[in-house]
Chains A and B, each alone.
Chain A
Amino acid sequence: MPYIFTVSPDFTPDHLAGWFIFNTWLQRALREAFHLELYDDFQSQREAIHADKIDLIYANPYDAAMLVRDKGFTPLVKPVGHSDEAIIAVSADNGMTEVEALQPGVRVATTDDPDVHMMGMIMLEPADLNADNIHLKTCDSYVLVAKKLVRGESDVGIFLDEAFNDLSSMVKRQLRVLVSSQIQVVHHSLMLGPKLAPHYDALRQALLAMPDDPKGRGVLSSLGVTRWGGVDQEEMEFMIDLMDTLMV
């Protein structure tokens, strides 16, 4: 039976092939069979985690507490220079210049990307907005969030900054950023399940050495990552504590 590797469903579509390439690299690095299982949404991925079907995961920070505290996962690495940040944007035609001007009843387009949605909602708090006094529309992708704004079907959009920056220049010209987060310490990370625990040292060492050879660099490049940085248990606990404070 191969080990099961999965990736947070919010990965950039451009990196889909990259994760399959990474899975192949993983099998060679550990000389073990891995199967890359991708889930369409966070809910189905969480069900698989709860059923102990997952052995290795590139996890959304929102799920880190559950993985570490309930499922005994251990953090391995994070992509260096890739913290998760959110953007609040409106249509370029919208007269709003600051979040504080938004009123209850505003229509907010978002995704089911849990950490970005949470950061976006925090950036709406200065206007006294919360899930109870806005109209939330959850879209399947950030492109669809942008379309909602451009078509006037939503007033405000919550974006992952990377996804916003990847929008075509024609779309971006029709949008305006109201506020960007600068949180810096919330990041995805690769985490190892209990069954793979004996491979922790070998895998961490291999991951950190990836930039040292051309093949490893090629795999990283296909994921849009320059290099991995080690994440120790305490750094992960710190991020989990931080996420706990933000979920209030």
Chain B
Amino acid sequence: MQDMNPDDIAGTYREYTLELYNAGTRTILVTDIETPYPDGRLIVSRTDPDGIITHVNRSFVEMSRYSEEDLVGAPHSILRHPDMPPAAFKDLWNTVANGETWHGYVKNLRKDGGFYWVKATVIPNVRDNRLVGYTSVRRKPSRKKVEECAALYPTLF
């Protein structure tokens, strides 16, 4: 996956290198700027069984700051923030691989280096008993839950 571009970043940033499952390494640039989740919206995306994005809605594009062209065809880990513990994603993939629904609170990385918190639900898409991909829907989290996760996640590394 492409490294993040300093020209896209708003404000001062820190640099990290992430090891991404099935997507190699990626240099990311991170700021402390949070974008609040907008009221009443759902962020929706679909991936193929390997986690490659096949569909995004307008709210996804607006919140992530990536274009639809940037997103479709990219691994979903394009949103991976270094503050998210790998254990959370391991749990996600183990759950959906078993055909079950996963939900949790996720800190996502934007193209401009900022972040936004979501309450995420991921379900496997099964057609004629065959897994064809995953649908992920994100909605506005409560501030209390975000604060709990922001305190808990650093302990899970």
Contacts and interface: CB of A to CB of B under 8 A. Distances in A.
Q: Chain B interface residue count: which class? A: 20 to 34
B42 A125 contact: no
A100 B143 contact: yes
Contacts, number: 64
A126 B103 CA distance: 15
A246 B40 contact: no
Which of A123, A179, A238, A248: most chain B Cβ within 10 A?
A248
B123 interface: yes
Contacts of A184: 57-58
A97 B37 CA distance: 17
Interface residues of A, number: 24
B40 A179 contact: yes
B59 A237 contact: no
Nearest to B139: A122
B121 interface: yes
Interface string B113-134: 0000001011101010000000
A181 interface: yes
A242 interface: yes
A17 interface: no
Interface string A204-237: 0000000000000000000000000000000001
Nearest to B146: A126
A179 to B, nearest CB: 4
B39 A123 contact: yes
Contact of B137 (A125, A126, A246): A246
A181 B121 CA distance: 18
A237 B123 CA distance: 12
Contacts of A183: 40-42
Contacts of A153: none
Contacts of A244: 101, 123
A241 B135 CA distance: 7
Interface of A: 98-100, 122-123, 125-128, 179-185, 237-238, 241-242, 244-246, 248
Interface of B: 37, 39-42, 44, 46, 57-59, 101, 103, 119, 121-123, 125, 127, 135-137, 139-145
